[in-house]
Amino acid sequence: MVSNRTHKAGGLGSALRKLLTNRLSSILIAVILALAITWVVILVMQAPPLRVFGIMLKGSVGSMSAITQTFQAWVPLVLATCGLMFTFTAGLWNIGMEGQIEMGAICAYGVIHYVTGSSTPGYLVIILASLAGMAGGAFWAYLVGLLKNYGGVNEIFGGLGFNFIADAFLLYLVYGPWKPAGVAQGSTKMIDAQYWLPQVPGTYLSLWSLGLAILGIVVVTFVLKGTYFGLKLKAVGKNAKASFMMGIPTSRYMLLSFVLCGVFGGLAGSFQVTGFLHVLRNSISGGYGYLALMVGMLSNYQPLIGVPISLIFTALNKGATGLVIDLQLDTNFSGVIQGLLVLCVLLMQGVRAKLSKGIRGVQHG
Amino acid sequence: MDVELVDIYKTFGRVHANDGISLKVKSGTVQGILGENGAGKSTLMKILSGFIQADSGDILLDGKKVTIQSPADSVKLGIGMLHQDPQDFPPMKVLDNLIIGSPVGLFPNRRKIIKQFEELQKQFNFAISPDNYIDTLTVGERQQLEILRLLWLGAEVLILDEPTTGISASQKALLFETIRKLAAQGKAILFVSHKLDEVESLCTQVVVFRQGKNVGAMTPPYNTDRLVEMMFGKTIARSERICETQEAVNFKVDNLRIDDPRFAIKEVNFEIRRGEVIGLAGMEGSGQAVILRTLAGIVRPTGGHIYMMDGKEGVRTDLAGKHYFQFRNNGISFLPAARLEEGLIQGMSLAEHFALAEKQDGFMVDREDIDDLAGQRIKDFNIRGTPESRIEELSGGNQQRAELALMRNPLRLLLLEHPTRGLDIESSMYIWGKLKQRCIEGASILFISSDLDEIVHYSDRILVFFGGRVSAAFEASQVTIDQLGQLIGGKGWS
């Protein structure tokens, strides 16, 4: 009754309020807002907006080869996103994902580097490299967790620090012990084709890594939504103190969430080596760690929502490469759109929270 | 400066913190303000010092009506409040603390300020070096600095909220001497305390607050019995003991020592019998909360033993120093007063809470099972909500019932902080009904309450706390309110 009355009295104001407080419509508004600002940015850059969007669409999903490339780039992003779901659920910001991907790549390449020339079968090497990658990522994340739990170092600073260390270590390897013969080029020599993840003929896409990424989504969703472990992790993330009081060993759960996150990051890193670049090179993580953080935020920490969002993000990245050739724009343009999307969605979330506060009161009784 | 508060009303939700309080303090007097926790003392002082605003009522300074919207306003008008915990900046220097919040401009003349500071502290025989860092000072010295700062800012009215907590005896003597000097200078002093001795020795007059009202004033010579009666009321209904207290000793606290920042708690000895309820009385912060948390395994004692008796003669386990989870696994359950901070998890549903609290059965959460269990408990504990209700959507009483419903079976010891605070009578009675059920099943209960009625009503035995000291256990059926009130106020301790 009461809401009816306010409806009539409010008129347009209450309709707008309803639009802003509804979850779906508020996200829609955020997307439109982001696109509108992007439009303005494109105009400022003196490019034709419609053509920019057209090129991006064509470059990402316009052809079979574009689609396979998008999916191929989607694998590391979605893996990293899956990993971050654990730390997000535990209420932690694993900024160190970049470093964990890099360590995964380093360890995977390391295995291949040392078995090259031996008689170990290729598929076994790939499996070993993947496992080594997962272990490397997990270890790197574990260090961040240790610092957080026992050193009182906030995981954001710890993670950032370990990103730099991983970077430096990678550079050292690429320019040092693993430098290919001849002039150093910031990249190792290419691994033997027998150690490549099998690819769909004529494309770069590996069904193996794609399959594992999809499996990753299923596993993460299952663990977080269906198991006691997921439930406890959620409790720790929402209120560590009360969780401890209820008998949950909170620091162990936080550490475990880091390790699991690192496993996924490391796997993404190993696929960068075995499934895509086939070398170890400078900034092999490709910024997927940071991008995954944005995807995680945008998906409201829900793995299944992360799937389409990460796909859109990779499509934007792939699409933007065409802009360089056709319009002489920078590839980083996709980053502008991604950043705007995140900001607009967060902004609308804030607006929604602020407006709903007055509406949804606490029940008394 | 004369201070007059007229007909002050302030409500927090359903609680009438100040229910038409009037108070007049003349310049040159030390006005004592006594009252239980929640009697409305702090609320009134916060209104006078601008931290909160009254719903209605007037504040008059020297007969002139003023409006105080913020602490800055009150400072400008010459009102200074000395908080129970020093409001300073430990990593900064004494002088910087003095200058912060003062209207000396961007570039203060430090040399001049130091000179003023030294002159001021000479008046009161304080000896604080302006170059020291705050975190090197004792609580007493920080308090002295705060007084100097307020005087330096021109305070004519000083509010002191429980100023003797955590300071040494010599510092206390110096503080009292200072207060007397200030009164002699014509300042008006409002001295808030629950310590009867201090109020009686220092104050030129005393008022007592009870349940948000000013219930009476007294001038020397003070009649302690009468003061206690005004503070706590005269008669309290006692319920007949429902739990048959068994003779078997459940826990034995032996020579327990705890280091608390405020005071060292020493030589605590008592027994907890099966099926009995022990109420811990005392003003908030007298040590009862620390003891409760120590018995829960959250605070680690520095010495002594917490023996868990095994029923058989002579078999006992010492839990002191063990991990909190071990206390829990031995059937010791702690219900914190800060429900949404420590007890329950905001953003999670009732069903999820039950899933977490129950013994884990397998790897997977069986949603159906959990929903059934939640539905059953919701019915058993009369919680108004559904398994899907998020915990923050419940009212305080329902949250408290949920906390009780989450406790495991069987339990040996229940430790409760303010089990019925903020709840209506119906909820309180319901909760105590459930608790007594636990007693009949053989559990023991220790609980803290600032409501003396509740303590006398529901306890079998009572321990009184004062400044970290613990009294011998009183049989609740024999103790008088006067006895308890005197002990709570710090009288009658050997």
> Closest residue of A to B339, CA-based?
A242
User: Chain B, 307-366: which have a CB under 8 Å from a chain A CB?
Assistant: 324-325, 328, 334, 336, 341-348, 352, 355-357, 360, 362-365
B225 touches chain A (CB under 8 A): no
Q: Are residues B214 and B292 in the same domain?
A: no
Answer whether residue A347 is part of any domain. no
Rounded to the nearest 10 degrees, what angle do helices A250-271 and A207-226 cross at? 170
> Closest residue of A to B395, CA-based?
A364
- Partners of A226 on chain B (C-beta within 8 Å) are 364-365
Question: Closest Cα of chain A to B306: distance in Å?
Answer: 20
- The CATH number linked to A281 is 1.10.3470
Q: Are residues B226 and B298 in the same domain?
A: no
Output the tens digit of pLDDT for each of chain B's 494 residues. Answer: 899 999 999 988 777 889 999 999 999 999 999 987 778 888 899 999 999 999 999 999 999 999 999 988 999 999 999 987 778 888 888 888 888 877 777 788 888 889 989 998 898 888 888 888 988 888 888 888 999 999 998 899 999 988 887 777 788 889 999 999 999 999 999 999 878 888 999 999 999 998 889 999 999 888 888 888 888 876 555 655 655 656 788 899 999 999 877 778 888 999 999 889 999 998 888 889 999 999 999 999 999 999 998 766 667 889 998 999 999 999 999 999 888 889 999 999 999 999 998 888 788 888 888 999 999 999 988 888 899 999 988 888 888 889 989 988 789 999 999 988 777 777 788 889 889 888 888 899 999 987 888 888 889 999 999 888 899 888 888 888 888 888 888 888 87
Question: Closest Cα of chain A to B343: distance in Å?
Answer: 5
Taking an 8 Å cut-off on Cβ atoms, the answer to whether B360 and A228 are in contact is yes
Q: In this structure, what DSSP letter does residue B343 have?
A: I
Answer whether residue A6 is part of any domain. no
Taking an 8 Å cut-off on Cβ atoms, the answer to whether B328 and A247 are in contact is yes
Q: Are residues B44 and B152 in the same domain?
A: yes
How many pairs of residues across A and B have Cβ atoms under 8 Å apart?
Answer: 66
Q: Are residues B168 and B310 in the same domain?
A: no
- Partners of A229 on chain B (C-beta within 8 Å) are 363
Question: Closest Cα of chain B to A229: distance in Å?
Answer: 8
Question: Closest Cα of chain A to B299: distance in Å?
Answer: 12
- Partners of B401 on chain A (C-beta within 8 Å) are none
Q: Are residues B390 and B442 in the same domain?
A: no
Query: H/E element holding B307?
Result: strand B303-309
Question: Closest Cα of chain A to B90: distance in Å?
Answer: 20
CA distance A80 to A296: 9
Q: Are residues B169 and B215 in the same domain?
A: yes
Backbone angles phi, psi at A51, to 5 degrees: -65, -40
Answer whether residue B337 is part of any domain. no
pLDDT of residue B240: 57
B406 touches chain A (CB under 8 A): yes
3-state secondary structure of A347: helix
Answer whether residue B338 is part of any domain. no
Q: Are residues B205 and B257 in the same domain?
A: no
The beta-carbon neighbor of A241 closest among B341, B360, B363 is: B341
Q: B277-281 and B205-210 as β-strands: parallel, antiparallel, unpaired?
A: unpaired
3-state secondary structure of B467: coil
Answer whether residue B256 is part of any domain. yes
Answer whether residue A205 is part of any domain. yes
Contact B229, B208 (CB under 8 A): no
- The CATH number linked to B123 is 3.40.50.300
pLDDT of residue A4: 43
Q: Are residues B97 and B161 in the same domain?
A: yes
What is the residue range of A204's domain? 48-328
Q: Are residues B116 and B254 in the same domain?
A: no
Answer whether residue A133 is part of any domain. yes
Q: Are residues B287 and B304 in the same domain?
A: yes
Listed residues B211, B232, B253: the one ending a domain: B232
Answer whether residue A36 is part of any domain. no
Answer whether residue A30 is part of any domain. no
The beta-carbon neighbor of A245 closest among B334, B347, B352 is: B334
- Partners of B393 on chain A (C-beta within 8 Å) are 362-363
- Partners of B328 on chain A (C-beta within 8 Å) are 247
CB atoms within 10 A of CB B123: 13
Q: In this structure, what token pair is assigned to residue A189? A: 């020599």
CA distance B338 to B341: 5
pTM: 0.80
Taking an 8 Å cut-off on Cβ atoms, the answer to whether A239 and B357 are in contact is no
> Closest residue of B to A232, CA-based?
B356
pLDDT of residue A261: 97
Count of structural domains within chain A: 1
Amino acid at the residue B17: A
- Partners of A247 on chain B (C-beta within 8 Å) are 325, 328
Listed residues B201, B232, B263: the one ending a domain: B232
pLDDT of residue B241: 61
pLDDT of residue B244: 61
- 10-residue mean pLDDT profile of chain A (365 residues): values are 44 79 84 91 88 88 88 94 96 96 97 90 94 97 95 94 96 91 83 90 87 95 94 95 94 96 97 92 90 90 90 89 80 84 88 71 37
Answer whether residue A361 is part of any domain. no
Listed residues B166, B199, B232: the one ending a domain: B232
Q: In this structure, what token pair is assigned to residue B144? A: 């002295």
B369 touches chain A (CB under 8 A): no
Question: Closest Cα of chain A to B46: distance in Å?
Answer: 28
Spell out a b/e string for B357-385, using b for 16 or more CB atoms within 10 Å of the CB, else e: bbeeeeeebeeeebbebbeebbeebebeb
Taking an 8 Å cut-off on Cβ atoms, the answer to whether B341 and A238 are in contact is no
What is the residue range of B378's domain? 345-407
Q: Which long-range contacts (CB under 8 A, 24 or more apart) does B377-384 make?
A: B377/B405, B378/B350, B378/B405, B380/B405, B381/B405, B381/B434, B382/B430, B383/B350, B384/A363, B384/A365
CA distance B152 to A53: 67
Count of structural domains within chain B: 3
Please report the ipTM that was assigned to this predicted complex: 0.83
Closest to A197 (Cα-Cα) out of A206, A186, A185 = A206
Q: Are residues B362 and B310 in the same domain?
A: no
- Partners of A243 on chain B (C-beta within 8 Å) are 345, 356
Best interface-test mutation with A: which of B345, B358, B359, B369 has the largest number of A CBs within 10 A?
A: B345
pLDDT of residue B238: 60
Q: Are residues B184 and B200 in the same domain?
A: yes
Answer whether residue B339 is part of any domain. no
